Every structure is written in C-alpha cells, then in structure tokens.
Amino acid sequence: MSQVKFALYGSVKGRVQGVFFRAEARLKATQLGLSGWVRNRLEGDVEIHIQGTKEQMDAMGDWLQQGPPKAQVIEVNLKPVSLDESLSGFEIRS
C-alpha cells in the first residue's frame, strides 16, 4: 500500500541566492525521496515545488526554514497545490 502524497508550492525569502540554496535543496529533497523542482526568481527569492508524503514534506519544511549554512532564510511561504504526476526526481530549473 502506497502512502498518500501531497504537493506544496511557494517561495523562500532572504539571502537564498548565491549560497548554493538550490543545489542543497535538491540534495536534501533527493535524500528524502521527494520529487519536484527549485529555481531562482528575479526578485531574489527561491521558488520551490515539492511532492511527497507528510513525513517527507515535514522534514523538507524544517530544512527550508534554515537552508544551507550560508543562507539566511527570512520567510518560507508554502501552500498546497495539485500533484504534478509528470515529475520524477528533483531538479533545478532555470
């Protein structure tokens, strides 16, 4: 029996560009078994879409609050969205 999956979409604000945020987010998401994507926004934020079980999403949410060592996360805004069945794995988008 497979576990129920959820999807979240949103942004991470603060000093999150130029600090390996996207690469570290992909690494963490892959370790957790999440699918989705992450990309920089022109405004200086990071945009993210993640999909997984509640436990996986909770763990990623905790990580997003801190980010990688050089990041300074000010705010994480995530909201539930529909699953994107076409996603497999986690990628960095441009």
The CATH topology of domain 6-83 is Alpha-Beta Plaits (3.30.70)
Q: What is the pLDDT of residue 6?
A: 94
pLDDT over 50 (residue 41): yes
Q: Just list the catalytic residues.
A: 22, 40
pLDDT band per the 50, 70, 90 thresholds, residue 3: confident
Q: For 35-41, what is the mean pLDDT? A: 98
> What is the residue type of 89?
G
pLDDT over 80 (residue 43): yes
Q: Compute the distance between CA of residue 30 and CA of residue 38 in angstroms, rounded to an integer.
A: 12
Q: Compute the distance between CA of residue 63 and CA of residue 68 in angstroms, rounded to an integer.
A: 8
Do 38 and 68 contact (CB within 8 A), yes or no?
no
Q: What is the pLDDT of residue 1?
A: 40
Ordered by start, the domain boundaries in the chain are 6-83
Q: What is the pLDDT of residue 18?
A: 94
